[in-house]
Amino acid sequence: MKFFRPIGVMMAMMMTAAGALAGSYETGLRQLSIQDLKGDRHIDGFLWYPTSEREGKKRAHGNVVWEPIMVIPDAAPAAGKRPLVVLSHGMFGNTRNQAWLARKLTQEGYIVAAINHPGTSTLQRDPKHRRELWQRQKDISRTIDHVMALESIGVQVNPDRIFMAGHSLGGFTAVALAGGRFDPQRVDASCEVQPEDVICDMLNDWDVAKTPEDRIEMAKDLSDPRIAGFVVFDLGGTQTFSPESLRAIDRPMFVIGAPMDIRGLNLDVESRALRDALSEGVVRYLEPKTLAHFDFLGVCTERALDLLKEEEPDDAFVCINGQDERRAEHEMIGEEVMEFLAGIGN
């Protein structure tokens, strides 16, 4: 398929989409709890959604390190059919990491869901769940099922405008949901040559695809055809997918690379490689020269950097340039993401 259209057509579509979503909504907030009726992979998270209510605003998702966003808990959803965006956090991240983006999207009329992936989230690091990396994609599909079944909110979701965005390992999750197929033999060969690669090190430490049974599960088609488009924030793991499966992806994908990386991700084998592997007309690529891997997290408080340097010096890097500079990056990313999504499914 061809994603890019003539400029006049694209502008008309974006104006139509913007008009349909405009309304300067506030952000409603509900808890998500998705039970695993066949096992122990229970999922928790948040659902943010547009509301026309104005009273009852509260700070949420903030602490001494992260600035909060303003929400109205359990507010009545604004009427109308709406797009849904599901967010997937990075390695040992959590459902709050892209709350800033959820706030921006809900103000423009989007419903947004985010979950904690069991095994690879901040407080859920069970080795079994972590090893079963193929379950991450299934977490997202289960979340879509759950949101679509929710009373009031579910009936508002436009089934033709379901999207997914993922940061870092969440970007890996997004690519698999788009049709990328994990290739165990390719991974073996790559990691034999470069065992120190950050992805090889992660897969080895987590015992991913070590048994024949796990290799079969990892190599399965884990795509979800309901997802109309994908946003990938500085992913890791491009080299684990077969080139043939990447070339066969036919749904729009917006890939954002972060060149100011200090944690070991190499854009030449990650975001740039993904851009080059996708078919012409499918991929949109952006690489802002000042963007760092952790700029996709929230805005840091004034005290955050000094506090982290004192109490958690190994983690202080997440708040370098984490205030005004990051706030500006968020504004740019939010606008780019909304422009991308506005051109899909209208």
Output the pLDDT for position 127: 97
pLDDT given at position 261: 75
Average pLDDT estimate for 127-143: 98
Residue 1 scores a pLDDT above 70: no
Measure Cα distances from 259 to 35, 238, 275, 312 in Å. Answer: 39, 16, 14, 25
pLDDT value at residue 263: 67
- For the stretch 150-184, pLDDT in tens is 998 999 999 999 999 999 999 999 999 999 999 99
* Least confident stretch, 74-88, 125-139, 263-277, 286-300: 263-277
DSSP string, 265-302: --TTTTHHHHHHHSPTTTEEEE--TT--GGGGS-PBPT
pLDDT of residue 265: 87
- C-alpha to C-alpha distance for 302 and 315, rounded to whole angstroms: 16
Q: Is the pLDDT of residue 73 over 90?
A: yes
CA dist 155 and 141 (Å) reads 17
Task: Give the mean pLDDT of 16-28.
Answer: 63
- Predicted confidence at residue 23, as pLDDT, reads 52
The tokens 């890996």 sit on which residue?
172
What pTM, to 2 d.p., does this model score? 0.93
* Residue 290 banded pLDDT, cuts 50, 70, 90: very high
Reduced to 3 states (helix: H, G, I; strand: E, B; else coil), residue 3 is: coil
Q: Where are the beta strands (DSSP E) in the chain?
A: 26-34, 43-51, 58-60, 69-73, 82-88, 111-115, 157-167, 227-233, 253-256, 283-286
pLDDT given for residue 169 in this prediction: 98
